[in-house]
Amino acid sequence: AKEPVRVLVTGAAGQIGYALVPMIARGIMLGADQPVILHMLDIPPAAEALNGVKMELVDAAFPLLKGVVATTDVVEACTGVNVAVMVGGFPRKEGMERKDVMSKNVSIYKSQASALEKHAAANCKVLVVANPANTNALILKEFAPSIPEKNITCLTRLDHNRALGQISERLNVQVSDVKNVIIWGNHSSTQYPDVNHATVRTPAGEKPVRELVADDKWLNSEFITTVQQRGAAIIKARKFSSALSAASSACDHIRDWVLGTPEGTWVSMGVYSDGSYNVPSGLIYSFPVTCKNGEWSIVQGLSIDELSRKKLDLTAQELSEEKDLAYSCLS
């Protein structure tokens, strides 16, 4: 039998946490044959709720779940973890300045970076979900210099999956037949959902999405804004922000990273830019990636047309500004 893998979920008493921990305990993240030990962290005001989640995990009698650590102590939470899913953060509240929210998250991610660096297992893989996700991941990277930068990522897979979903609805095809959309840039409304290389599996072979949709106007405007604004549309409908789709996408992100992407398929991940596609290095930016043997690599050589170039640069610009704002909170 396999050794259990320790998976940390921060903010585990929150909405996404509540959807995510049972998925992990059922093997959706790491595989149906992979035992897990869950480490759940939240802050003292949420300690009782966190304990309630632990009680439910016990009650669900998950065969793969070999242990649960529920704590408000960041060192205890981080000790020995192989995978860290960072969902906890400070939300933007009505009337708050961007800088104040950034400042709270910078201080959270700075201290959690140090705890992970000192106490996590070697080669721990980190996924930041909490917003501003790209910049929180960047701060985590800066303050955990001994964790390899390739191990620190942020979630844009939800945006990627939303794009697949929109194409599948529009063409009335199975979502599993659509692939190779790309989310470029920030997990924010400046992200660029790109279908220029996306395809659909049809009885007559793989066809480009552009050819099948045959409506560039829709693809270049409404499709893009629908994906960019989907989070707000969910809040409007549900009165709460996306939770089950965020949790499911976080599982997809880690599963593909650890177990590999299927041949011929790429996914979107926020990763540390190496300058590919002329995106400034030193940002956590969402790129198309393939994964093999537990490592991601950026898909190279895709053509970028003029409209795309502008959109790649615009979202990079926003990330540079967020980075500057984050750094100004440090001093």
> Of the ranges 60-68, 127-135, 292-300, 313-321, which one interacts with ligand NAX (CB under 6 A)?
127-135
Closer to ligand NAX by Cβ: residue 25 or 77: 77
| 129 forms part of the interface with ligand NAX (CB under 6 A) | yes
Q: How far is the CB of 150 from ligand NAX (least distance, A)?
A: 19
Residue from 10, 82, 191, 228 touching ligand NAX (CB under 6 A): that is 10
Among 8, 29, 37, 41, binds ligand NAX (CB under 6 A): 41
Do β-strands 5-10 and 83-86 pair in parallel, antiparallel, or remain unpaired? Answer: parallel
Whether 119 sits among the annotated catalytic residues: the reply is no
Kindly identify the residues of this chain, within the stretch 188-217, that bind ligand NAX according to CB under 6 A: none
The β-bridge relationship of strands 83-86 and 125-128 is parallel
Q: Which of 38, 69, 113, 133 touches ligand NAX (CB under 6 A)?
A: 133
Residue 322 engages ligand NAX in binding (rule: CB under 6 A): no
- Of 305, 290, 310, 311, the residue nearest 197 (C-alpha): 305
Among the listed ranges 27-35, 81-89, 260-268, 323-331, the one in contact with ligand NAX (CB under 6 A) is 81-89
What is the rounded CA–CA span in Å between residue 306 and residue 301?
A: 15
Site string for ligand NAX, 11-40 (x = CB under 6 A): x-xxxxx-----------------------
Q: Which of 63, 67, 91, 294 is the binder for ligand NAX (CB under 6 A)?
A: 91
Instruction: Indicate the burial class of 331 (C-beta count within 10 angstroms; 0-12, 13-18, 19 or more).
Output: exposed
The structure tokens listed for 56 are 């439910």
The token pair at 238 is 């549900």
Rounded distance between C-alpha atoms, residue 115 and residue 134, angstroms = 19
Q: Which is nearer to ligand NAX, 34 or 79 (CB)?
A: 79
- 160 makes contact with ligand NAX (CB under 6 A): no
Residue at shortest CB range from ligand NAX: 14
Choosing from 4, 22, 26, 43, the residue that interacts with ligand NAX (CB under 6 A) is 43
Rounded CA gap, 148 and 171, in Å? 41
**Which of 212-219's residues contact partners 24+ apart within 8 Å by CB, and which partners?**
212/171, 213/167, 213/170, 213/171, 218/170, 219/195
Among 85, 66, 138, smallest CA distance to 109 is for: 138
Among 39, 160, 187, 253, the one annotated catalytic = 187
Catalytic residues: 187
